[in-house]
Structures are given as structure tokens and as C-alpha cells.
């Protein structure tokens, strides 16, 4: 059963990766770099300040820092325990995929997927009561993580597993966030509060 899933994962990667063309290579190389998403992060923090006020925004930043640390370190633990070779380092399929970035670290599961989904899931639940169409935030981890398949750095199974792990760790931190938020002194809402108009 496991062997069949692994084989399916490899074949799906080869198919999805084969859809890439040189015309889009630079776009996906840009997408896969975390620093290029800084404007998105700034905008999300602005939404937090605008709708939650500065105290809760500081708490959100602290929770996100803890969340990224937790998710990133546990992802590395899984990688070093499972030790699945990345597609470009796997001699069975390396000749069948297009890739431009090589990494000596392991593949299972994707840190890009787990970290981005963890943050998106957390912010979605924190801001959903205040921001219309907050579901759009999930385009970020989907596009971000797909870049890893396009560049043959991860298998689809690595991405899906990373998403699941990100949701799990985010759910734990949401419990802590909601508990700590109750302990904060009464905080006027952000810029949307009529009292601040």
C-alpha cells in the first residue's frame, strides 16, 4: 500500500512538473523565495492592527513567531527522521523532471507548505470575523507550495503532508492565542472602531 502511494506520488510529480515551461521559470523562482512575500506579510499585519488594535496585533505577532518556530523545527525533525530524497536527488526520477534549485536537505515534508499553511490558517481564524473574503489568504500557501513542485524540490505528498501538519500546529497555537487574549486588558479595536474615527 505504502509503495503504491509513493509510486503515485512520484508519477504525479513528474506529470505536474512537466507542465512547466521556460517562459514561466523565472516567475516560479521568484514565487518560491520567502523574502518576496514580505509585502503580503506587511499587508496582513496592517489588517490585524486595523481590526484588532495594537495589543492584540502584538500578541498575534508573538503567536506567529512561536508558530513558525514550532512548525519549522518539527518539520526539520520529520525530514531528518524520514530522510526522503528530494526529487532532483532521487536517481529513480531525476532524469524525468525539470529543476533549477538543488538542496542537500530531505524532502518529507515541505517546510514551505507547513509554515505557510500554519500562518494562513492562524490568520484566517483570527481575522475572519473582521475581514470579508478572508479565505483568499489560502491562495498564498497554495501558490507558494506549488512552486516547490514546479521546481522539483518536493513531491505532491510532501506538500499535502506539510499542509496537514501546518493546520495541526496552527490549531494548537490558536487555543493558546484565545486563552492569552482573554487575559489582555480591555483593548479598543483598531482603525475600524468608531471611537477612533
Determine the pLDDT at residue 101. 77
DSSP string, 162-195: HHHHHHHHHHHHHHHHHHHHHHSPP---STTSGG
**Stated pTM of the model:** 0.88
Q: Give pLDDT < 50 ranges for the chain.
A: 188, 193-197
Task: Summarize pLDDT for 113-164 with one digit per residue, the tens.
Answer: 999 999 999 999 999 999 999 999 999 999 999 999 999 999 999 999 999 9
Task: Confirm if 143 and 33 have CB atoms less than 8 A apart.
Answer: no
Amino acid at each position: 500500500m505504502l509503495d503504491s502511494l509513493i509510486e503515485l506520488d512520484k508519477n504525479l510529480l513528474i506529470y505536474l512538473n512537466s507542465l512547466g515551461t521556460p517562459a514561466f521559470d523565472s516567475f516560479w523562482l521568484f514565487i518560491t523565495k520567502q523574502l518576496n512575500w514580505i509585502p503580503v506579510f506587511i499587508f496582513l499585519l496592517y489588517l490585524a492592527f486595523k481590526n484588532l488594535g495594537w495589543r492584540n496585533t502584538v500578541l498575534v505577532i508573538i503567536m506567529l513567531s512561536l508558530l513558525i518556530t514550532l512548525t519549522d523545527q518539527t518539520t526539520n525533525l520529520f525530514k531528518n527522521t524520514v530522510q526522503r530524497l528530494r526529487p532532483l536527488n532521487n536517481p529513480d526520477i531525476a532524469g524525468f523532471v525539470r529543476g533549477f534549485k538543488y538542496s542537500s536537505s530531505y524532502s518529507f515534508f515541505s517546510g514551505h507548505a507547513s509554515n505557510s499553511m500554519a500562518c494562513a490558517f492562524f490568520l484566517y481564524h483570527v481575522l475572519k470575523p473582521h475581514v470579508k473574503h478572508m479565505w483568499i489568504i489560502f491562495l498564498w500557501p497554495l501558490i507558494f507550495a506549488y512552486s516547490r513542485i514546479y521546481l522539483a524540490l518536493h513531491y505532491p505528498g510532501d506538500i499535502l503532508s506539510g499542509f496537514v501538519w501546518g493546520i495541526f500546529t496552527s490549531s494548537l497555537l490558536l487555543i493558546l492565542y484565545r486563552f492569552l487574549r482573554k487575559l489582555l486588558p480591555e483593548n479598543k479595536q483598531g482603525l475600524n472602531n468608531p471611537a477612533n474615527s
